Chains A and B, each alone.
Chain A
Amino acid sequence: MFRRHNIAARIFDRQISTVAPGTSVHHTRRFYENLVPNCTIYEVECPDHLYRKITEDGQYLICFSRNHQDLIVYRPTWLSYSCKEECDTNDLPPKAKRFESFFSQLYCVSLASSNELICKDFFLYMESNQFGLFATSTTQNHDAPVGGAVQGVPSIEKITFHLLRLEDGVVLDQKCFHNDFINLAHNMGVFLYDDLLAIVSIRYQTIHILQIRDSGNLVDIRAIGTFCREDDELFLNSSTQSMLSHEKGKLHQLPENPVENGLHQSEPSSDYCFLSGIKQRLLSFIFRGIWNEEPDQALRVQSLKKKFYFHFQDYVDLVIWKVQFLDRHHLLIKFGSVDGGVSRNADQHPAFFAVYNMETTEIAAFYQNTADELYLLFEQFCDHFHATSRNSLYLNFISSHSNNMHAREQLRSAKNKASSSLQFVKKMLVSLPFSCQSQSPSPYFDQSLFRFDEKLISATDRHRQSTDHPIKFILRRPPNTLKFKIKTGPEAGSTDSRTKKISSFIFHPFLPLALSIQQNLSLQPSVVNIHFRK
């Protein structure tokens, strides 16, 4: 069908025709083809902060100070200016070409105290309450107590989560973890779903489930790991105590009974000799699966021997790496070997995925990272893995291969090109569980609207290697023309081409406004460009 690209003609079209039911938002989003951030202010003068992101509702620009001590919050505003003298309509007056014309500072608060620093890669936003979650931590601690901890996992003396009301920067609540390890880079170890927060302690193999109350309190709901239900430990202690009280009665009669004294002493260490709650669930799930699969007694024993007992210790040694919510009850948990959880190239290690229902404390499914079944679910229902909070408007439009035909085609061609399907499945499943709030909802990353080089830029919030060439955004539909370019760094290109530079992008969720930040690895201030529609 021939469609006109002139914006006036489009508005006219919108007036006289109705679109197919259920597509009105998609149709309205096509106006973004006309409204693009095609104007760039190069090397804008701006405070030397670490720019983190613009919240999903476009209300706040989150920045941290260079010394990792303070949080600085700006309100993104639309550029407006007036000039007394004759105005050149083609160019902005120099006074308007400032950071402050686009962002007005709301406040600056100090988050880090004494020896703690803000983790610049960590920030979660709770849109419904406009709460922000930040983390500060001390440096790695090499002589941490070992009791109950997984060997080979680093320890951080203190990690503090801060819940802030972003409206005015008031700290509402804090939650500390001591001598623990939580992967804070790119929000990996923490997942927010509605008001529920899952924090993975890798060192103590515990998934802490917290609730963020409307009052601004962080409330512990349960800890999944050694135990499954929230009152398991209490139950165990109270029933062991009642057992002991019986024994104590006996003890008075026979004070020098050696067996019972021995029993008392073995009490504290008893936690470590049993399988942890989550492992018991996992192992019994695997066992049941193999048991029920084979009705013949003798064959069943053979198959259990080969598939279960032979690998038993490997299953016991599995470590929880990462967790995400699938809905309010189900968690997708990734298990792997100890070295895989901490090292960067985690895809080299075998990994497993479990779906765990934290209400019934049952494992619902268990897959290896080479499982075709899981891959097919991932291919067809990718959006179900992107569990976003219900009330989040823009996040529903993030392109994925299950809601976008262009992304799907790209995936298919990558799949066909892959030399081994096993390797391909493995590679794709590396992204599971998803990191929380790691994608920008900006319409300029909508793959049904624009085409761009995903190696240089994408909705995923990551640092990328910077090139001197501008990144082109090309219309997906005919006439497939170049609509705008995003160029990082100085306008003339950088003078020093030897040093490696990385860039990051902060897109506004719905306005044609973006920041590009180019840094080189030395400590020079970064080059910030503002991209907007004039």
Chain B
Amino acid sequence: MTKPAAGSLAGMLTMTKPSAGSLASRSTWVSTTSVSSSGKRIQREMVELNLDPPPGCCAGPKGDNLYNWVATIIGPPGTPYQGGIYFLDITFPYDYPFQPPKVVFKTRIYHCNVDSAGNVSLEILKDSWSPALTITKVLQALQSIFTKPDPYNPLVPGIAHLYLQDEAKHAELAAEWTLRFAK
């Protein structure tokens, strides 16, 4: 398989070590080898994503920090989110892939699974997380909530309520949000 660029990764490590230490003091002790293994894993997933990106979305590291990514999801056609460009922050923990990445919307969205601070609730990012999952899978899952919101596990019950009771009204409002905040 592809080898990670050793030089850049080494540079990354010296940069992330102190914060890895502070993380370790709070929770479990994380060895530098595990940091580097999470780095390697992210690197490998990046290569994978670049080779075969899912349509309508994209992601990449912010600057040279491998653990902070930005993802973009293009509002899927045929949904009220059509025409919107959604930016999301993805933060990988240092013990990735044993912990799921954290995903936050940076673009406002009218969606029952995204709260008013941009936090997204997705089963695979919580209890159903498995180290076998990859960033590509996460992006696909995020994309799927645009087409199929999950009103039974809502973060914003009001929107979920509306979605179940009056889908047309929900679509109208979501489209208005797209036009105003996601163009």
Contacts and interface: CB of A to CB of B under 8 A. Distances in A.
Interface of A: 228-229, 232, 235-236, 239-240, 242-247, 250, 260, 263, 266-267, 269-270, 273-275, 277, 280-281, 283-284, 287-288, 291, 297-298, 300-302, 304-305, 308-314, 361-362
Interface string B134-167: 0000000000000000000001111101100000
Given A267-B116, A309-B60, A273 B182 contact: no
B158 A242 contact: yes
Contacts of B162: 246
Candidate in A247, A263, A301 with the most chain B CB atoms within 10 angstroms:
A301
B70 A302 contact: no
30 contacts: A228-B180, A235-B180, A236-B181, A239-B177, A243-B159, A246-B157, A247-B156, A247-B157, A250-B157, A263-B115, A267-B116, A273-B104, A274-B106, A277-B181, A280-B183, A284-B182, A287-B85, A288-B85, A291-B74, A300-B53, A301-B49, A301-B50, A305-B50, A309-B69, A310-B60, A310-B63, A310-B64, A312-B63, A361-B183, A362-B183
A242 B165 CA distance: 15
Interface size class of B (residues with CB under 8 A): 35 or more
A280 B107 contact: yes
Contacts of A273: 104, 106, 117-118
Interface of B: 49-53, 55, 58-64, 69-70, 72, 74, 85, 87, 104-108, 110, 115-118, 155-159, 161-162, 173, 176-177, 180-183
Contacts, number: 113
Contacts of A260: 157
Contacts of A298: 50-53
Nearest to B50: A301
Nearest to A246: B158
A313 B106 CA distance: 12
Given A243-B158, A246-B161, A283-B87, A302 B50 contact: yes
Contacts of A245: 158
A434 B55 CA distance: 43
A309 B70 contact: yes
A364 to B, nearest CB: 13
A310 B106 contact: no
Contacts of B70: 309, 312
A240 B53 contact: no
